[in-house]
Structures are given as structure tokens and as C-alpha cells.
Amino acid sequence: MRRLLALWTKEWIALSRDLHGLAVLFLMPAAFIAIMSLALSDTFGDRVRVDFAVLGPDAAKIAGELEGDGFRAAPAPANAAAARDLVRQGKLSLVLLAGPRPVVLADPALPQPQVLAFRMRALAVRLLLAAFSFCALELGCPLWPPARKTKSRGQKWPRRPCRATSHALTY
């Protein structure tokens, strides 16, 4: 017990002479807590939901894939001109004009990181759908059920042979 008390006394004397050590010991954790609390202040709060619409081929499928993580699908306007008007009026925050060269129409009041996140999501969905289409056309094995077929509870999806593998693929 005497050795522990002597060690404690020695360390407190050494620390009281070392101002940099005191700063590292007390000020750095306090600064870390302050910075991290400011950085994460709105992470766990209520998220702002951004309404978006998709125009073009497979709009419903693309909108379904894009929805989530703060983005909510809204009914699509009739055409691109109506979409531009809705974005200008602030009724829609984002509109994706799907096609060979997709274009994102964004509300100028929307933060740029959110617009960038939507564009990245749209690119990922487009690549994903292109990969699925390639697999379906080239290999003859669709990787998800077609939209026109529905499955009621208890039924299984029909099995279809796949040219890429020797087994039948259940989808």
C-alpha cells in the first residue's frame, strides 16, 4: 500500500510540473467531445424527407429502388416541362429524367450534399438495373420476378432453367 501511495504522489508531482501533460489529459478529451457532439448533432434527429419524382421508362421500378434513406417518391408529373415547373415552385425537390442520358433537376434551396447523394443513388440504381437486364438477356436467367407476375401467400415462384448454370433458378 505504501508503494502505491508513493507512486501516486510521484505521478501527481510530475504531472503538476508538466503543463502540456495536463492539457493532453483534460483539455483534449473535452475538445474531442465538443467537436464530435457538434459533428453528430443532427445524425440521430428527425431527418428531412426529400420528395422526388422519376420520369421515363421504368419510372415506377426506378422510383421504388431510389426510395429510402431520406428520399420519398412522389407522383411523377406529366412531362419534363411540368417537372421543371414543379421544381421551380418548390413542390418537388428532385426530379430524375431517366433515359439514355439521365438528368437530375434539383431545387436550388436543397443542400448540395443531398443532391450529390441522390445522384449517386440514381447512378447505382441505373447500374444495378443494367446489370440485371444484361443477365436476363445474355444468360437467360432473370434475377428478380417480373413485375407482371404476382405471388400469393404460400405459392412458390415458377422454376425456369438458366443457360448460365446447370440448375434451375428460382425467382
Query: Does residue 4 fall inside a structural domain?
Result: no
Strands 168-170, 159-161: pairing kind: antiparallel
Which range, of 64-68, 78-82, 151-155, averages the lowest pLDDT? 151-155
Are 34 and 71 in a shared domain? no
Q: How many domains is the chain built from? A: 2
Are 54 and 103 in a shared domain? yes
Q: Is the pLDDT of residue 143 over 70?
A: no
Average pLDDT over residues 42-60: 76
For residue 31, name the pLDDT band (cuts at 50, 70, 90). Answer: confident
pLDDT computed for residue 53 by the predictor: 92
Are 83 and 32 in a shared domain? no
Q: Which domain holds residue 24?
A: 10-38
Instruction: Give the Cα separation of 150 and 59 in Å (integer).
Output: 19
Are 116 and 81 in a shared domain? yes
Are 62 and 133 in a shared domain? yes
pLDDT computed for residue 95 by the predictor: 92
| Phi, then psi, of 163 in degrees rounded to 5 | -70, -20
Q: What phi-psi label fits residue 141: left (phi over 0), alpha (psi between -120 and 50 degrees) or beta? A: beta
Query: Does residue 154 fall inside a structural domain?
Result: no
Instruction: Give the Cα separation of 113 and 116 in Å (integer).
Output: 5
Are 29 and 60 in a shared domain? no
Are 62 and 134 in a shared domain? yes
Query: Does residue 116 fall inside a structural domain?
Result: yes
pLDDT tens for 55-72 read 988 888 888 888 887 888
The SS3 assignment for 32 reads helix
The SS3 assignment for 161 reads strand
